[in-house]
Structures are given as C-alpha cells and as structure tokens.
Amino acid sequence: MKILVINSGSSSIKYKLFDMPSERLILKGTLEHIGEKGSKFADHYSGLKTILEKVDSVEAVGHRVVHGAEKFKKPVQVNRKVIKGIKECCDIAPLHNPANLAGIVACQKLLPGVKQVAVFDTAFHQTLPAHAYIYGLPYDYYKKLQVRKYGFHGTSHEYVAAEASRILKKPLNKLKLISCHLGNGCSITAVDKGRSIDTSMGFTPLEGLVMGTRCGDVDPALVTHIMTKKKIDSRVMECILNKESGLKGISGISNDMRSLEAKAKAGNKRAELAIDIFVYRIRKYIGAYLSVLGGLDALIFTAGIGENQASVRGSICRGLFGYLNKKPKIMVIPTNEELMIARQSYKLIRRG
Ligand code: ADP
C-alpha cells in the first residue's frame, strides 16, 4: 500500500511516500515559500497539487497534526467530526493547526475517496497522569480554558522508544526510558513501559528545555515585568520568547548549535555560555525524570543535535550516572516521524 505522509506547515510542505508494510521510502521532498509573495505556490492546495503530480496510486495519506488537545488520544481517520475537532484545537495552537488543516482539506479535494489519517504530536503524551499535566493555577483554567501540559514531539518520542525496544531486544513494557529530542525545538520525555509519563514541553512548545530560539522554563513573573519595562504588548513578547530567545538570544550569534560550537572553540564566551546553559537544563531534566521513573534502562538522543553532536552528548552525560549501581545504556537513534505516521496510518486503515 502506498502511503503519502504530509507535514503541512505554515509556509512549507514536507512529504514522503512509503510503500507499506515494507516501509520502503519511494520519494521525498519539501516545498517552501507556500503562500508567500512571488511564490509559485499561492496556497497549500496548489503546493499539494504539485506534489501529487509526482506521485501516482496513493492509497492513503497520513497527516502530521500538531495539536489534538484531549480530544485525540490516538491517530484517527479523517471525517467531518475529526475536521471539526482539529478546528477547535486551532484556538490553543494558532501557529500550527490551521496549516495542518489546510493540508488535510487540500488532500480531500485533490484525492477524493482516498483515506486520510491524522496523527497528533500530542497524542503520545495523553497518558500523562494528572499530577504531571495540571499546572499550579486555578483549576477552573484547566476546565474552562483547556490550560494544561500537553507535550509535543510525541511521534518522535514514540518512534525512538519503539526503536530502543527493538535494538535492546526487550519489550517496551519492561523498559524505563528517557528520550531527548534535541533539534531546533527540544523536548525530553520519561517513558515508562512504553507510556509517556512526563514531558518537558507544556501547554505550548515553549516550556522546558532551552531551544534554538525558544526560552524554555522561565519565571512567569518576568514576562509581565519585561512587558512593562520595555512597553511591549503580548504579541511582541510572545515573539521574543519564541523567536529571539534560547541559544540565539543568549549567544547573540545563532540558533544553530554547529555555529555555536565553532564560535565557542574560537573563544567566544557567550557561545560557550549558551551551550553550558543548554546542557545544564537537559541534565536537570534527566535527573528529575530519573526520579520520576525510579530507574533507567536507556537514555536516548535524537534529532539534529542529539544525533550529530557528540560533544554536546558528552557534556550532557559526563558523570551523570556515576552514583547509579546499574548504568543505563546511552543510545543515539535517528528519529523518523514520517515513518511513524506511515506505520500508524497503515495500522489504522488495515484495521478498517
Ligand atoms: P528541526 O527541529 O528544525 O527539525 P533539526 O532536528 O534539524 O531541527 O536540528 C537542528 C539543530 O541540529 C541545529 O542546532 C543544528 O546545528 C544541529 N545539527 C548538528 N548537526 C547537524 C546535521 N548534520 N544536520 C542537521 N542539523 C544538525
């Protein structure tokens, strides 16, 4: 069965075509500048039309959807009710869900009758216990405003956890894992018996680790303090926290870890500080999740930094488990969110 996997972002569409269940990758690509001035692609519909001209006999489409809130705990076949549900999540994921939805709607028009599956970044974390996902805020905000920890990168964490189980030749329900997804966006998840029990990203992907351009955990009082002092509104403040902070904001150089390592080696102190903060925050979370899990079989690294930057991995792991009787395995596992989406779509469709 040929399954097309679509990751439809606000200005780009990434796609991969798989033959399932062999998992053979047939084709992949990225279209950029969707909807931008002067672009070949006025909207997602015209972008997807171009993609579909390159592929034939697609039998199903798997879509990445960032936010499924509490409505979607697993992948679902798209129908009118699902579209309505994804639309309702746009309110709490205004940067991502509308673009994901545009991809789904375009595919429905271009491939009438072909089954579409929505796979949610948040779904894997729906197993979090309430004591991990409720914030220390008035409880009403959870009930009325859907304010809680959701967590993201779920497809990636789930994929690498399954890979770890395969490589270690031990069933997932016998494993305690911590997976570190370190790309431009970064998150860390405690996985107990194959279930996510805590994760660093929160209501939005801003919480947790220091990332390329996102600040991660900060004292919430500093947000209003900075807004008052700098006379900026919430939109500008949100942009600073999401796009001008993290490695980029601390170093004043770049959000790219490769450039920062080169600069730090050449003696740039701010680049060195940014890397130190990045590493320290990850070590803190690993310590916390070790105690949450009550043991650890393997620590997994994935995504751009996790897979490629051995020196960062070394700094994170140095002396980290010295006090443990049984040392966990340290694993580097390339993530493959698209394959996971293809697998889940195939499974759902096969089940009928
Ligand atoms: P995204 O979250 O955008 O998918 P990636 O997973 O591609 O991000 O990770 C980007 C980060 O990984 C950057 O900080 C980059 O410097 C770092 N990195 C290191 N080596 C590589 C590599 N070989 N390819 C891609 N990114 C790399």
Mutate to test the pocket of ligand 1, among 308, 312, 313, 338 (most ligand atoms within 8 A of CB): 308
173 Cβ contact partners less than 8 Å away, ≥ 6 residues apart = 193, 194
Residues with beta carbon inside 6 Å of ligand 1?
A: 183-185, 212, 256-258, 303-305, 308-309
Indicate if 170-332 has the same CATH topology as 2-120.
Answer: yes
DSSP E strands in 164-306: the ranges are 176-182, 186-192, 195-199, 298-302
Phi, psi (rounded to 5 degrees) for 71 = -75, -35
Q: Kindly list the domain boundaries of the chain, sorted by start residue.
A: 2-120, 170-332
Q: Fold for 170-332, please state it.
A: Nucleotidyltransferase; domain 5 (3.30.420)
Q: Under a CB-based contact definition with an 8 Å cutoff, are residues 59 and 342 in contact? A: no
Query: What's the CA-to-centroid distance between 184 and ligand 1, angstroms?
Result: 6
Atom of ligand 1 nearest to the CA of 260: 16
Sign of the alpha-carbon dihedral angle for 216, 96, 92, 300? negative
Q: Which of 121, 153, 209, 258 has the most ligand 1 atoms within 8 A of CB, as the residue to mutate?
A: 258
Distance 28 CA to ligand 1 centre (A): 18
Residue nearest to atom 24 of ligand 1 (CA): 304
Distance 260 CA to ligand 1 centre (A): 12
The rounded Å distance from CA 275 to ligand 1 centre is: 14
pLDDT tens by residue, the chain, 352 residues: 999 999 998 888 999 999 999 999 999 999 999 888 888 898 899 999 999 888 888 999 999 999 999 999 999 999 999 999 999 998 888 888 999 999 999 999 999 999 999 999 999 999 999 999 999 999 999 999 999 999 999 999 999 999 999 999 999 999 999 999 999 999 999 999 999 999 999 999 999 999 999 999 999 999 999 999 999 999 999 999 999 999 999 999 999 999 999 999 999 999 999 999 999 999 999 999 999 999 999 999 999 999 999 999 999 999 999 888 889 999 999 999 999 999 999 999 998 7
Which class is domain 2-120? alpha beta
**Residue 308 Cα: closest atom of ligand 1:** 20
